[in-house]
Amino acid sequence: MLKFVARRLLLLVPILFGLSVLLFVWLRALPGGPAQALLGERATADSVARIEALYGLNEPWYVQYWKFVSSAIQLDFGNSARTNRPVTEEMARTFPATFELAIAALIFAVGIGIPLGYYAAKKYGTWLDNVSVSGSLLGVAVPVFFLAYILKYVFSVQLGWFPTQGRQDPRIDADHPTGLYVLDGLITGNLEASWDAIMHLVLPAIALGAIPLAIIVRITRASVLDVVHEDYVRTAEAKGLWERTITRRHVLRNALLPVVTVIGLQAGLLFSGAILTETVFAFDGVGRFIAEAISNRDYAVLQGFILVIAAMYVVVNLLVDVSYGLIDPRVRVR
């Protein structure tokens, strides 16, 4: 297993190098350029030239790229042109919000999707199977922002069961040592703050997790249907093994490989930010902050956030590969 993980870690080096090159080229190909983004409406030819000389933007591309990589390794992405704060501070402020929301959406999608997909396959052709298939199609078809507005209107505005926006009631006096509000409440012993943070997470997590839930249900159902008809499953049933043993050792263990792939891909997308969901529920996370950076041409923020998000996505896929080896030993033997 250690050799398997080591090989996957070595593959990260060329992948991250390629990502850094693509990001470097893309940002410098955008209209306006970093200097004009910093100056805004005050930009003149002389002021742009001074800014380019100050930040080394007039140097050869390979010198700029080397400085870019060196700074990225040190997690020094400069300051935001919009807030004038270090990009790393903005990351520390926004990433915990998105991470907490993504975890809640994954818990919702995986916790319901895998059992529902499994029982839909076991009850193939029944009302449960038909409802799960129809529901998964509906979940994929409904736009995230539309579902978010419906949930907000019904359960927050009309029924008043959940808060309408934000991460926590501002009237609650709570400390946030980690930026993860639910965890912070548990750490500091402020259960009221933790529960309030959970209530603020419910509707955004459902809206964000609806599409991953639908995908996981369909993939789980299809994978289980393929596995239950395999010879080794019928042999185990003929031997008289308990159904629980057959399910755990033979069905789920083999059916989960494609499901883990889907979960890994969806997790990477969720961790990269949810612009629509965070906008509807005024959730101050990564997606909303990047959207504002794009509209303001904040190149320092785009450069730092995109590179870190891409690295996180690669790491998530590394964890998926490792989970393959844990589920199926044949994978790590190759």
Res 17: pLDDT: 82
Q: In 3-state terms, what secondary structure has residue 86?
A: strand
Res 140: pLDDT: 81
Q: For residue 39, is pLDDT > 70?
A: no
Other Cβ atoms less than 10 A from the Cβ of 191: the count is 10
Q: What share of the chain has pLDDT > 90, as a percent?
A: 1
Q: How far is CA 103 from CA 45, 185, 317, in A?
A: 47, 17, 16
Res 108: pLDDT: 92
Highest mean pLDDT range out of 20-24, 29-33, 45-49, 245-249? 20-24
Highest mean pLDDT range out of 67-71, 80-84, 109-113, 132-136? 109-113
Q: 77 or 40: whose pLDDT is higher?
A: 77
Res 327: pLDDT: 62
Q: For residue 311, is pLDDT > 60?
A: yes
Mean pLDDT value across the chain: 79
Mean pLDDT of 43-56: 70
Mean pLDDT of 290-295: 79
Give the Cα-Cα-Cα angle 256, 95, 136 (nearest 5 degrees): 35
pLDDT in tens, 80-111: 777 778 888 888 888 888 888 888 998 999 89
Taking the C-alpha atoms of residue 277 and residue 104, their distance in angstroms, rounded to an integer, is: 13
pLDDT in tens, 215-229: 888 888 888 887 776
Highest mean pLDDT range out of 155-164, 252-261, 315-324? 155-164
| 315 φ/ψ sector (left φ>0, alpha ψ -120 to 50, else beta) | alpha
Residue 196 corresponds to which amino acid? D
Res 83: pLDDT: 79
Q: How far is CA 274 from CA 102, 218, 249, 288, 289, in A?
A: 9, 22, 36, 7, 10
Other Cβ atoms less than 10 A from the Cβ of 179: the count is 16
* Cβ-contact 262, 321 below 8 angstroms: no
Q: For residue 248, is pLDDT > 60?
A: yes
Q: For residue 34, is pLDDT > 70?
A: no
pLDDT in tens, 178-205: 888 888 888 888 888 889 889 988 999 9
Characterize 297-331 residue by residue with b for buried, 16 or more Cβ atoms within 10 angstroms of its Cβ, and e for exposed.
bbbbbbbbbbbbbbbbbeebbbebbbbbbebeeee
Mean pLDDT of 262-282: 78
Q: For residue 211, is pLDDT > 60?
A: yes
Q: For residue 333, is pLDDT > 60?
A: no
Taking the C-alpha atoms of residue 316 and residue 51, their distance in angstroms, rounded to an integer, is: 38
Q: For residue 41, is pLDDT > 80?
A: no
Enumerate domains of the chain plus CATH numbers: 94-291+321-331 (1.10.3720.10)
What does the chain come to in residues? 334
Highest mean pLDDT range out of 80-89, 129-138, 154-163? 154-163
